[in-house]
A and B are shown apart, each in its own frame.
Chain A
Amino acid sequence: MRPLTDAETKDFFEKLSKYIGSNIQRLIERSDGLYCFRLHNDRVFYCSEYHLKQASVISRENLVSFGTCFGKFTKSGKFRLHITALDFLAPYATYRVLLKPNAEQQFLYGHNISVSGIHRISDNTPKYAGIIVYSVGEVALGFGVAAKSSHEIRHTDPIATGIFHQADIGEYIRQESTLI
């Protein structure tokens, strides 16, 4: 494992800030110690420094995962956020969306959400902003990208896509093998 290079860090933080804005600092400096990101097998892991020391004992080919995996860098160098980061991003979300129960099922299967499926959306959501998707019971379901700003959503027809799907917790079952 190694620390992220500058370029990688930039890409990674850019992606994160789409969802949590400027709260990235809160992820790093936490009340129970310093946390950091490390790269291992093209994947970005998030863990405390204590864990880091422990994990570095294990040789690279035997180490599979440590702490939490946030996502991976694809072969073309772009960073892709995984659903496994949801627990850490959800508390700091800037824009949130609540889905109706029907739309919830659709989202969990990996489909985009039409405008009619949106129960509530944060005000001032700009177009193409990263949003955290919740169910009506405030259970985090995944990540998405707003297809239209919250202004526009009120005036568009219900069939149009309202939220683009990025990641959802159904992937734990659907894509278990590719998560790690």
Chain B
Amino acid sequence: MGRHLDTQKPKKGPGRKSRKQKDPAIPYRIKELEAQDKTSLDPARTFGRRAKKRAAKRQAKAEAILAGKSERKNKKNADRKSEQINGDSASAASEKKRPRAEDFFDETTESGNAEDEDDADAQSSVSESDMPVAALRKDNDGQYVQDGMTLDEADEEDDVDMPDDEFVGTDAEPSNNTKAYADGVPDDSEENAEKFTFPEGEADGDAHRPAELAAVDHRIQEILLVLADFANKREPGRKRKEYLSLLLKDLCVYYGYNDFLMEKFIQLFPLPEIREFLEANEVHRPMTIRTNLLKTRRRDLAQALINRGVNLDPLGEWTKVGLVVYDSQVPLGATPEYLAGHYILQGASSLLPVMALAPQENEKILDMCAAPGGKTTHIAALMRNTGIIYANEPNNNRTKAVVGNCHRMGVTNTIVCALDGRKLRKNNQLFDRVLLDAPCSGTGVISKDPSVKTSKDEKDILKRSHLQKELILAAIDSVDAKSKAGGVLVYSTCSVLVEENEWVVDYALKKRDVVVIDSGLSFGNEGFNRFREHRFSPSLKLARRFYPHEHNLDGFFVCKLKKRSNKILQPDNDDEGEAESTTSESGPTDPNTSGDVKMMDGDFEFEINTEEDDTDDDDDITYMLADVQPAAEDESEAQTTSVGENEITALEVAPASTGKSRKKSKT
């Protein structure tokens, strides 16, 4: 029949067609290690972290048992020996016998394997990390000990469900071996607790190399994890401050900030958010444009731009004029629609202060820092070219931008002037609404201007803050408290620092008769009413903060104030030295002594600091000091937007005090 008659050889092994990958060629070193720990689990099998943990635990148990056994053995030996020598069976005496070389030897042979296994484990696990390389040391017992980790302590680590738990320091349970070489602890006693080591005096230059940046990044993550669960994961003996300072340095290196600014951000943002904020600062916000309603409608503009090859979408629910541009085939700043004034390139966050201002037709409006004119033209569009806008820009070089934009967008009701904002009040002009988009340090727009990362200093911030305070007072003085529009001031900055935002508004609340009112913006974080050691008026919660990582807008702060009367609450020249001292008397004071906490809801009692006339500064205008008025009257005044009656009836100066302001509480 066939070839095979009866005997058919059984097929052996894999068939001809099956291909099998050869076993890996194990390097010599690992072979050694394998040979060493034949008795234990193969380390190659326990590369998983959980598995390693379990293995470690098993080791610990095994060790403990061995240690217990050896102890008993020692005792037994000791007892036997003592019996032989002393002839007593006093076990107490035998325990104090000096450890004999044999006992020692026994210990090492029995648990020595365990030690080595742990070593191997430790080695393999640590080598996976990017930690700065820690050398192996031989300690007193001739055992290899990894820097920065006690073997037993690693064994006893808590079973925490964290991905990086192997870097976690744990409470060391005393065991024989620890004690054995605890005496010989190396120089850096701090480093024995956890795998996360504090670097020993790294040279600063090293950390800037790209390869090291990855290490820095990793370290940042670890520190953040430690700080998140500080009680459990800290190194004993290390304070939180040390972790924080190391984190600060690492963040500075990784993102390229100077220490001052990074510290400010760490104070401002909770630790889970700080990285998101910094990452958001590396990336540009999406490009947005604002439709000019004087010339076109958003729908028509969108259509025209789409025809040109621009990919865009409406910006959001909260605006009817914004468009966000994803990409564009033509330069957006040079399309015929742009040249015809149909839109302007503007950041989305710049729409917010004008929305808060809510200008109506036929009003008189002041924009104190107008360049480049985006907000001015927005105001004009909302007013439909009625009324009048004063667009002030103190920098002569930038007024051209304002004029250019106004003309291009077809704005006709604007007067552009180049006055110093602080001197505006000398014109004796009063406005229905004022917009103060104050010059700031730009910490909210780092994505647009990365030079802010390194150029800001304590002095800069304080100087800015000082200027902003002067400007806000000038702005308040230019608002007509009796206007039908309500006497509104909107203060906004493109900064996230408290010194430039809440502090300035709080200052204004103390010095002038203004209140914070709701800005009308439907989203955004609340302003701070307290921050570290500062305490501000609680009404500051109505202010709004915007962050790049939360809202995808530039960092922004908007606060809407309403002027209730032309009273001066404190004279302006109290705080000349403010730029130098951080804790001047005009800084935020504790609530007990500040008398000007004004609440919006009705039942307030106000205290007026009255002052003689001649302590005013060199302004030409003499402010009329009002008589202390009954609270009810002012309440009704505040509620009606149109102030009919003249509240300041008598020029009555309070009895002269000794030059200092004193408070007078109203009964």
Contacts and interface: CB of A to CB of B under 8 A. Distances in A.
Query: Do A and B interact?
Result: yes
Interface of A: 47, 50-51, 54-55, 57-58, 62-69, 84, 87, 104, 108, 135, 139-141, 169-170, 172-173, 176-177, 179-180
B458 to A, nearest CB: 34
B410 A50 contact: no
B418 A172 contact: no
Given A51-B388, A55-B415, A68-B407, A177 B427 contact: no
A58 B415 contact: yes
Nearest to A180: B403
A57 B334 CA distance: 37
Contact of A169 (B339, B390, B400): B339
Residue with the greatest number of chain A CB neighbours at <10 A, chosen from B390, B401, B403, B427 = B403
A172 B404 contact: yes
Contacts of A172: 339, 404, 407-408
B400 A177 contact: yes
B400 A176 contact: yes
B413 to A, nearest CB: 7
B36 interface: no
Nearest to A61: B418
Given A57-B427, A63-B417, A66-B416, A139 B401 contact: no
A144 to B, nearest CB: 16
B415 A66 contact: yes
A143 to B, nearest CB: 14
Given A172-B404, A179-B400, A64 B417 contact: yes
Contacts of B406: 65
B407 A179 contact: yes
B336 interface: yes
A50 B385 CA distance: 13
Given A87-B410, A176-B404, A141 B336 contact: yes
A66 B416 CA distance: 6
Given A57-B429, A173-B333, A63 B415 contact: yes
Contact of B407 (A47, A54, A84, A173): A84
A84 B112 CA distance: 91
Contacts of A55: 415
A50 to B, nearest CB: 7
B340 interface: yes
B529 interface: no
Contact of B404 (A54, A170, A179): A179
Contacts of B340: 139-140, 169
Contacts of B334: 170, 173
Chain B: interface residue count, which band? 20 to 34
A169 to B, nearest CB: 4
Residue with the greatest number of chain B CB neighbours at <10 A, chosen from A67, A84, A87 = A87
A69 to B, nearest CB: 7
B418 A66 contact: no
B399 interface: yes
Nearest to A46: B412
A140 B413 CA distance: 21
Contacts of B402: 64
A50 B415 CA distance: 12
Nearest to A179: B404
B419 interface: yes
A58 B401 CA distance: 20
A47 B407 CA distance: 13
Which 3 pairs from chain A and chain B are nearest by CB?
A: A169-B339, A180-B403, A84-B407
20 contacts: A51-B413, A51-B415, A55-B415, A58-B417, A58-B427, A63-B415, A64-B418, A65-B415, A67-B412, A67-B415, A69-B403, A108-B336, A139-B340, A169-B336, A169-B408, A173-B333, A173-B339, A176-B404, A179-B407, A180-B407
Interface string B504-520: 00000000000000000
Contact of A108 (B339, B403, B413, B417): B339
Residue with the greatest number of chain A CB neighbours at <10 A, chosen from B333, B390, B402, B404 = B404
Given A58-B427, A69-B403, A87-B410, 17 more contacts: A57-B427, A58-B419, A62-B419, A64-B402, A65-B415, A66-B415, A68-B412, A84-B407, A108-B336, A169-B339, A169-B408, A172-B339, A172-B408, A176-B404, A179-B404, A180-B399, A180-B403
A5 to B, nearest CB: 23
Given A51-B388, A139-B336, A169-B340, A176 B401 contact: yes
Nearest to B386: A32
A24 to B, nearest CB: 18
B414 interface: yes
A180 to B, nearest CB: 4
Interface in B342-383: 364
Given A139-B340, A172-B408, A54 B388 contact: yes
A82 B403 CA distance: 13
Contacts of A87: 410
Contacts of B339: 108, 169-170, 172-173
Contacts of A84: 407
A169 B335 CA distance: 11
A29 B519 CA distance: 40
Contacts of A69: 403, 407
B590 to A, nearest CB: 42
A180 B407 CA distance: 10
Nearest to A172: B408
A134 B419 CA distance: 38
Given A64-B403, A139-B340, A140-B340, A50 B388 contact: yes
Contacts of B404: 172, 176, 179-180
A140 B336 CA distance: 10
Contacts of A135: 336
B399 A66 contact: no
Contacts of B410: 87
Contacts of A54: 364, 388, 390, 415
A141 B336 CA distance: 8
Nearest to A177: B400
A170 B339 CA distance: 6
Residue with the greatest number of chain B CB neighbours at <10 A, chosen from A57, A64, A179 = A64
A104 B336 contact: yes
A64 B427 contact: no
A50 B334 CA distance: 35
Nearest to A175: B404
Contacts of B414: 65-66
Contacts of A58: 415, 417, 419, 427
Contacts of A66: 414-416
A165 to B, nearest CB: 15
A172 B406 CA distance: 11
Residue with the greatest number of chain B CB neighbours at <10 A, chosen from A62, A67, A169, A170 = A62
